[in-house]
Amino acid sequence: MIEVTVEKLGLDSSTNSYVVILREKDGSRLLPIWIGQPEAESIMMEIKGVRPPRPLTHDLCKRLITGLGGSLRRVQITQVKENTYFAELHINRGDETIQVDARPSDSIAIALRLETPIFAQESLLTDISLHEADEDGEEESFSAEITPSAEEDVEGRELRMTGEELKEYLRRMRPEDFGKFNP
């Protein structure tokens, strides 16, 4: 397992689906996972520090884990099977570790709230790269938008993928890399 961080979150303009891009912590490999709008909004709210007046589902999960005397030790994105990504929450309670099957999008949202490390199976990571856009902004790019600062990663750097990088990335993708997708 390789530790990853949330690199970028947005709307993939080619599929009109939300995507969270995870980057290996000390490297350049990425793991894009297409997710639903509610999960994307929940992740973005946590990244931006937005606190709703009442707890959302992922806030409730955080309160349940801590309220029952547990702590989230780690999240693991384990596999892709039949175009569906799988993840596990590893919850410690006393001397016991409980593994809970979960969707990666929910797992990421909960991990961010509990400041817990996220890990991905090494075979899921790919060698594509995002890089800073040209100042003229004229290059073809992978566009991801969710907020007015949508072309920024979580650290505020502007990132884009060139058309050639996107073509190469798509050329190397396997059907299971797309996750569950219904046109």
Mean pLDDT of 25-34: 90
Q: At what angle do helices 37-48 and 57-67 cross, to 10 degrees?
A: 70
Encode pLDDT of 40-98 as tens digits: 999 998 988 888 888 899 999 999 999 999 999 999 999 988 878 999 999 999 999 99
pTM of the entire structure? 0.70
Q: What are phi and psi of 33, to 5 degrees?
A: -130, 120
* Nearest alpha carbon to residue 46 among 91, 4, 108: 108
| pLDDT-based confidence at residue 3 (cuts at 50, 70, 90) | very high
Rounded Cα distance, 81 and 164, in Å: 29
What is the tens place of the pLDDT at every residue in 143-178? 333 332 333 344 443 444 555 655 565 566 555 555
Please name the helix (run of DSSP H) or strand (run of DSSP E) that holds residue 43, with its range, or none: helix 37-48
* Number of neighbours of residue 174 by Cβ within 10 angstroms: 9
| Closest CA relative to residue 29, chosen from 125, 117, 164, 130 | 125
CATH classification of 2-178 is 3.10.690.10, yes or no?
A: yes
